[in-house]
Structure 1
Amino acid sequence: MLEAVIHGMIISFGLILPLGVQNIFVFNQGALHPKFRSALPVIITASLCDTLLIAAAVGGVSLIVLSVEWVAPVLYGAGVVFLSFMGWKTWTGIPEEGEVKVLSMRGQVVYALSVSLLNPHAIMDTIGVIGTSSLQYGGGERWAFAAATAGVSWLWFTGLAGAGRLLGRADSSGRFVRLLNKISALLIWAVAIYMGMQLTANL
């Protein structure tokens, strides 16, 4: 049981640490909102979405998806389009000097849902890595593995928003946040290019 928990935590950290669309959004909302509790909607929504995807993958969706040949190319193709668009949104949505762009609770939830559940790259990571890794365990161990991976998401998003809030306080001009957004947009486009290469390899 302990082995499954540690394995789940390591895999989850490995997948969640890279700077993706979801991470960028959670961090930015933490940085832009005047109070940490104002960013709770995005933290809870992103964490719940990850938990749902992990539960589905561990519950057997991975076996179904990976057994259908056309699913992977379709997801990779959708991932290229999605990430290209999100990179553009990240770049063009950078606040100007002295401007603050914060989302309402509804806006946070809707946007977090889109970058969590409509992100083919995240879906492929969950199904292809977490789902298949869970197959080596059975019964309670498999769900302990799933709980560990999901638990990391909850802790990570909470810490990420908290780090954003600390940065928001230290960087009142918003210059660092704008620079981070530009770098983030470039990284998102780089991932889109990588997924395009994966799509080509799968055709």
Structure 2
Amino acid sequence: MQAFFHGFILAFGLILPLGVQNIFVFSQGVTQPNIYKALPATLAAALCDTLLIVLAILGVSMLVLQFEWIRLTLLIVGILFLCYMGKVIWNAGASNFENNRALSLKEQVLFAISVSLLNPHALLDTVGVIGTSALKYKGFDQTLFTVACISVSWIWFFGLMITGSSMKKLQISGKVFLLFNKLSALFIWGTAIYLAISLI
């Protein structure tokens, strides 16, 4: 079970920090009228993570690490995306929480896909860390490692959705959620700056 526990702990450590994916899934738990309405965002985020993990372990990570221009392209696109997402979260916070605007099913899915597949942290963590760590395992051990990483994503995103929905039921002041959005936007911009510095 060493491979399973390695994958579980590694994936948990990577998904734990505050990021665009986590913020979005949590916010849907808060803004949707009930927990079931937040399922599209949660499922889309978990499925995208599953796709990235499987592709990384199948060998895409080696391709990206071999060609520097691919890594640079991912970073540049990701930095621009993070700057844009920070702006969206900073400006849209008031309308989402004060007016209780809930995204439609289509909007949830598209947004979740974009924050999952265009997020440089998610891509580089999956490719550079999970993909390369999986190389030490073969056969059934590698399968256990993969299952552990995927399980963490599903458990984490459903946990965020349930937590967001539970906090809404507690009738916490909207100002708390607005502050959370502002801090989240600052964190995302900080991440973009950190990635930009790494390019220099």
Question: TM-score under structure 2 normalisation?
Answer: 0.96
Residues 62-97 of structure 1 show CA distances to partners (whole Å, capped at 9, x for unaligned) of 111111121222222112111111100110111247
Is the counterpart of residue 16 in structure 1 residue 15 in structure 2?
yes
Structure 1 contact 76–198 (Cα < 8 Å) conserved: no
Structure 2 contact 33–102 (Cα < 8 Å) conserved: no
Alignment of 1:155-174 (within 5 A): 155-171=155-171, 173-174=173-174
The whole-number CA distance in structure 2 between the counterparts of 1:129 and 1:172 is: 37
- SS of 2:148's partner is helix
Q: Unaligned stretches of 5+ in structure 1? A: none
The whole-number CA distance in structure 2 between the counterparts of 1:114 and 1:77 is: 15
Residue equivalent to 2:69: 70
The whole-number CA distance in structure 2 between the counterparts of 1:181 and 1:58 is: 34
Residue equivalent to 1:51: 50
Give the drift of 1:172: 5.1
Q: Residue type of the partner of 2:128?
A: G
The whole-number CA distance in structure 2 between the counterparts of 1:98 and 1:119 is: 27
- SS of 2:98's partner is coil
Alignment of 1:105-184 (within 5 A): 105-171=105-171, 173-184=173-184
Structure 2 contact 52–123 (Cα < 8 Å) conserved: yes
Q: Residue type of the partner of 2:108?
A: Q
Task: Name the structure where helix makes up a greater proportion of residues.
Answer: 2
**Structure 1: which 4+ aligned runs deviate by more than 6 Å?**
none
Residue equivalent to 1:101: 101
Identity of aligned residues (%): 49
The whole-number CA distance in structure 2 between the counterparts of 1:87 and 1:149 is: 27
Q: How many residues align?
A: 199
Q: Residue type of the partner of 1:180?
A: F
Q: Residue type of the partner of 2:98?
A: G
Residues 133-190 of structure 1 show CA distances to partners (whole Å, capped at 9, x for unaligned) of 0001011111210110010000000000100011112235422111110000000001
Residues 18-59 of structure 1 show CA distances to partners (whole Å, capped at 9, x for unaligned) of 110000000000011121111111111100000000000000
CA-atom RMSD, angstroms?
1.2
Q: Unaligned stretches of 5+ in structure 2? A: none
Q: Residue type of the partner of 1:185?
A: A
